[in-house]
Chains A and B, each alone.
Chain A
Amino acid sequence: MRGKLHINGEWHSFHADPATPLHRVLREQIGLTGAKDVCGEGFCGACLVEVEGEPVAACLLPVALAECTQIVTIEGLYHDPVGRRVMAALEAEDAVQCGMCFPGMVMTLTHLLKTDPTTDREKVKHALVGNICRCTGYERIVSTACRAAKAMAEADVREETA
């Protein structure tokens, strides 16, 4: 099929079998390689993209079902203030190693900060259940998320009291 996808605020056309997983279309046809193809089975979270505001494993989403939705990839998340905050915090924490898992990590943590910001490490770990990292041993990523949540809460308080 030929179709169109709305990604990071722009339209892109593609030509693929309707059942082709979205991440392959992103990577192979549109040139957005931030979403990684690691397991292709929904286990690792390296391919996460935002669809209608929710993180979704793009490897499990047939491209035909992604038509007419609002898609934000990691490339677009840089323009989201919370996304950018997460990226800056991970960089400051020296959390990144090989980097393959981080586009997906940023997707999950951004969503967590937006929907349920928490400084409870166990809760953050629970939220990361679908993100595999083979390099870092996770703890710095968890610390970063907690610290970012705290900083955001403090910023909110400052805004309210201002």
Chain B
Amino acid sequence: MNLRPSLASTAFARRDASDKLRGRTCFTVDQAYQGHLQAYLLRADVASGEILRLNVSAARQMPGVRAIVTAADAPYQFGIGVADQRLFATGRVRYKGEPLVAIAADTLEQAKAAAGAVEIDIRPLPAVIDMAAALTEGAPLVHPDWDGHEVVLEARGARRGGNLAWESLVRRGDVDAAFARPDVTIVESSFAVGRQIHMQLEPRSAIASYIDGRLHLVASTQAPWTVKNVTARALGLPASRVRVTAPAVGGGFGAKYGCTIEPYAAALAMACGKSVAIVPSRAEEMLSCPCRENADIQIRSAVTADGHIVGREAVVLMDCGAYGGEQIYLTTMTAHTLGSAYRLGSVRLVSRAVYTNTAPNGAFRACNGVYNIFALESHTDEICQAIGMDSFEFRRRNVLGDGDLGSTGQVFQGDVLGPMLDKMALLRAKDDSPLSGKSSADARHEGWLRGRATTVGTWFVFVGPSAATVNLNPDGSATLVTAGVEIGQGTMMQSLPQIVAAELGIAPAEVVVHQADTDAVGFDVGVGGGRTTVSLGAAAVAACAEIRQKVTDLASRLMQVPSSKLILTQGRVERQGHPGSGMTLASLAQEALQITGPISGNGSFTRPGVAALEGCTSGHFLEAVDIPVFAVHDCEVAVDPATGHVEVLRYHVVQDVGYALNPSAIEGQIQGGVVQGLGYALHEEVTFTSDGAICQNGFGSYRVPLAQDVIPVVIELHEGAPSIGPWGTKGAGEVPILNVGATIACAVSQAAGLRVQQLPLTPPHVLAILQGRKLPLPPDHVQAWPARPGFIPHTTKSAKVADNLKGKDRS
């Protein structure tokens, strides 16, 4: 069954490259002008307000206008954890940029002109722009009606109330006793990070048509089934009446993991019966970007002189913006990022999603992990300093190994991080020569401060349900039908055809990959969490097993050979040990048409589930991780003391990949992911206007890495760690960004000999650190230890909370 070593062709090139290079690939945005109406969203201009009047009758009379929809047309509530959102601001505006009206016209200019004719009267209300303001006693509530929102994902012991959208808790062991021990050093740290914008080159976009009572959305999405289900819910339709297909997607990184703009096009198409395209401008895309959330992290540890972490506690505040969205779910991840990587005697983690009057945040590559690893690893270095232990040695002693308990009591399998650290030490030693070819650069760094750091991080593959259908065609080729989307990561172009090909004994080029279509195949969670190769791959393997069974059964009848003696190889079904015997798959598939009917197989996969310790979590959606993924990063930086400019001189990655199905593709993901992390660590900065709108509105004001900012990452793939993925694979696309902020911050801190508590490390920020002008941390950083789980800022509501959620409160 395990065919991988001989048959998987690990250098299989991507089939979409040529058309992408020639400009022939038709992304959703490239189809938007093929005879469709154009949609425009009129957005609110205040952070918080009461809608007194909204009149679209004049707008309807404007030239070219074909449809207008408003809150009255879409009153239904939806959301990931809590159904707190509607398509349009209804009665109340909760963030600047919130959609009020959607207009479809013959041209975008006409739609915009019509937006100007909408009569609106909004009475401004007090707003909370940041988490500190939102959590102040008596703060204005973003959702005064929070109590009435339906909780979609129940999780026992969850707490919510007022501007606290969700609180989850991890508790294992006696933390208070650990901190009270006489023999420990207590180290406390706090951190704050801003948002990150995906800046994928293709904006979120969709084209909707309404035919025979069904909606069809062509969407630039990572998750067709999410778009289908959320669109249906937002418009009050049965999900069966929505079909979603996804052509090539021009980058996502999480921006297209949720359903955001698709329902507007759908509502407009239903209203006028014509097809409607929605393609936001870059500025609109950024104004409403489902960013990586800003977060504040406080962490403290009780550590013995010989470096054992006997107690750890942390409070993580995550800004969800005006609606709970992803962040409610992401509170869970803190257990598996901040709470992971190290052996902990006892642990207590409080993770809170907080409403503010800002654009709702969303998912971004290694959600929650990137800043929590920054906090964890910076804190680790502070511990090492406090107890006087070498930071590499401390990590080598304390990282999770075989049989160790994670924060939720999950038992980790295999020694992975330790050997990876050893590999990194070797890699460093090999590459410690003076920087090759950089001698001129070296002269330039005369007088600069040098720093170096090695960090560890834990992430996981977000497994979860997937379905796949494989058809064995009469010409001996196979067609793979899934809801997987090619967003640039290469999975649909490389790993999946490789897997199917190897399982059926044909060439990868003989595997046709059907474009994602929710009408053609069963449910899938979507491309995210590094799950595609694992979940879709496992479903495809199961589908292929069914085909193999059918093929060998039939061949056994035709060839008079027991099916157990038959194998599928090189496009043939033949007797084991008799190459060239038997028949081609093509002729068998043709014979099958008359005897059994066409041969196909269906496969499905879902997380098998791993046990956590009973009673360790409250308000959690994922108590243990099925496939942990580990990463070790190392970098060297030079810091210009005069300007605060940070230059990255070397960057090394040792990444746990399970089994490297396609090393070239994985290394491409690592280089790209590290560079995205460098942007986050060094210069991608989101700031807010006083009324809560994101200031950055283009590539000019939001600084993503350019070619001259980057260096080649030295990569070593660590194979052999346990994984339930097909052939032992793990997701490789998400984790490369995980430790970058941490590694850069630790290296800069080492160079400066000073604490680094915030990202990004822009030159003014670094200069402030060097000059001892500490940037103020947000005032909610005043943390009274021990962390008080269940602290609800709006105390009058807290009693109701527990009743509202039937779950047992365990704190």
B199 at interface, CB cutoff 8 A: yes
Partner of B22, one of A28, A36, A75, A129: A75
Question: Are A34 and B708 in contact (CB-based, < 8 A)?
Answer: no
Residues from chain B with a CB closer than 8 A to the CB of A99 are: 16-17, 20-21, 25, 248, 250, 488
A139 at interface, CB cutoff 8 A: yes
Partner of B20, one of A75, A78, A96, A132: A96
Residues from chain A with a CB closer than 8 A to the CB of B253 are: 134
Residues in B546-572 with C-beta less than 8 Å from chain A: none
**Smallest Cβ-Cβ distance to B489: which chain A residue:** A97
Question: Are A125 and B699 in contact (CB-based, < 8 A)?
Answer: no
Chain A to chain B: the 9 pairs with minimum beta-carbon distance, closest first: A34-B23, A98-B488, A99-B20, A137-B675, A74-B23, A100-B201, A43-B699, A33-B30, A137-B671
Kindly state the separation between the CA atoms of A129 and B708 in the bound complex, as whole angstroms.
Answer: 7
Q: List 16 A-B contacts (CB under 8 A).
A: A44-B201, A91-B18, A91-B21, A97-B490, A98-B201, A98-B249, A99-B20, A100-B250, A128-B708, A131-B707, A132-B201, A134-B253, A136-B675, A137-B675, A137-B710, A142-B707
**Smallest Cβ-Cβ distance to B675: which chain A residue:** A137
Residues in A66-107 with C-beta less than 8 Å from chain B: 73-75, 78, 87, 90-92, 94-103, 106
A35 at interface, CB cutoff 8 A: yes
**Smallest Cβ-Cβ distance to B711: which chain A residue:** A139
Kindly state the separation between the CA atoms of A139 and B229 in the bound complex, as whole angstroms.
Answer: 39
Q: How far is the CB of A40 from chain B (nearest CB, A)?
A: 6
Question: Are B700 and A43 in contact (CB-based, < 8 A)?
Answer: yes
Question: Are A90 and B17 in contact (CB-based, < 8 A)?
Answer: yes
Residues from chain A with a CB closer than 8 A to the CB of B705 are: 137-138
Among A44, A90, A92, A135, find the residue whose CB has the most chain B CB atoms closer than 10 A.
A135
Question: Are A33 and B675 in contact (CB-based, < 8 A)?
Answer: no
A7 at interface, CB cutoff 8 A: no
Q: How far is the CB of A108 from chain B (nearest CB, A)?
A: 10
Kindly state the separation between the CA atoms of A32 and B26 in the bound complex, as whole angstroms.
Answer: 10
Q: How far is the CB of A101 from chain B (nearest CB, A)?
A: 6
Kindly state the separation between the CA atoms of A145 and B346 in the bound complex, as whole angstroms.
Answer: 53
Among B200, B253, B672, B708, find the residue whose CB has the most chain A CB atoms closer than 10 A.
B672
A140 at interface, CB cutoff 8 A: yes
Residues in B176-217 with C-beta less than 8 Å from chain A: 198-202
Question: Are B282 and A139 in contact (CB-based, < 8 A)?
Answer: no
Question: Are A27 and B712 in contact (CB-based, < 8 A)?
Answer: no
Question: Are B22 and A125 in contact (CB-based, < 8 A)?
Answer: no
Contact code string B4-29 (vs A, CB < 8 Å = 1, else 0):
00000000011011101111111101
Q: How far is the CB of B748 from chain A (nearest CB, A)?
A: 20
Contact code string B671-710 (vs A, CB < 8 Å = 1, else 0):
1111110000000000000000000001110001111101
Partner of B698, one of A39, A46, A94: A39
Residues in B447-494 with C-beta less than 8 Å from chain A: 487-490
Contact code string B703-724 (vs A, CB < 8 Å = 1, else 0):
0111110111100000000000
Residues from chain A with a CB closer than 8 A to the CB of B712 are: 139
Residues in B623-680 with C-beta less than 8 Å from chain A: 664-665, 668, 671-676
Interface of B is mostly: loop
Question: Are B249 and A134 in contact (CB-based, < 8 A)?
Answer: no
A158 at interface, CB cutoff 8 A: no
Among B668, B671, B700, find the residue whose CB has the most chain A CB atoms closer than 10 A.
B668
**Smallest Cβ-Cβ distance to B33: which chain A residue:** A28
Question: Are B20 and A128 in contact (CB-based, < 8 A)?
Answer: no
Residues from chain A with a CB closer than 8 A to the CB of B24 are: 34, 75
A41 at interface, CB cutoff 8 A: yes
Partner of B21, one of A38, A106, A129, A142: A106
Kindly state the separation between the CA atoms of A41 and B710 in the bound complex, as whole angstroms.
Answer: 23
Q: How far is the CB of B45 from chain A (nearest CB, A)?
A: 22
Question: Are A98 and B14 in contact (CB-based, < 8 A)?
Answer: no
B281 at interface, CB cutoff 8 A: yes
Q: How far is the CB of B674 from chain A (nearest CB, A)?
A: 6
A36-B250, A137-B713, A141-B707 are known; give 16 further A-B pairs, CB within 8 A. A28-B33, A33-B29, A36-B29, A40-B282, A44-B699, A74-B22, A94-B665, A98-B201, A98-B202, A99-B25, A99-B250, A100-B201, A132-B699, A137-B674, A137-B675, A140-B668
Indicate whether A39 sits within 8 Å of B20 (C-beta atoms), given known contacts A100-B201, A137-B672: no
Question: Are B22 and A94 in contact (CB-based, < 8 A)?
Answer: no
Partner of B672, one of A39, A90, A135: A135
A126 at interface, CB cutoff 8 A: yes
Residues in A6-55 with C-beta less than 8 Å from chain B: 27-28, 32-41, 43-44, 46
Residues from chain A with a CB closer than 8 A to the CB of B16 are: 96, 99
B251 at interface, CB cutoff 8 A: yes
Question: Are A33 and B676 in contact (CB-based, < 8 A)?
Answer: no
Q: How far is the CB of A146 from chain B (nearest CB, A)?
A: 12
Residues from chain B with a CB closer than 8 A to the CB of A34 are: 22-24
Partner of A41, one of B18, B29, B699: B699
Kindly state the separation between the CA atoms of A34 and B282 in the bound complex, as whole angstroms.
Answer: 18
Residues from chain A with a CB closer than 8 A to the CB of B489 are: 97
Question: Are B199 and A134 in contact (CB-based, < 8 A)?
Answer: yes
Kindly state the separation between the CA atoms of A126 and B21 in the bound complex, as whole angstroms.
Answer: 21
Indicate whether A97 sits within 8 Å of B201 (C-beta atoms), given known contacts A75-B22, A78-B22, A126-B708: no
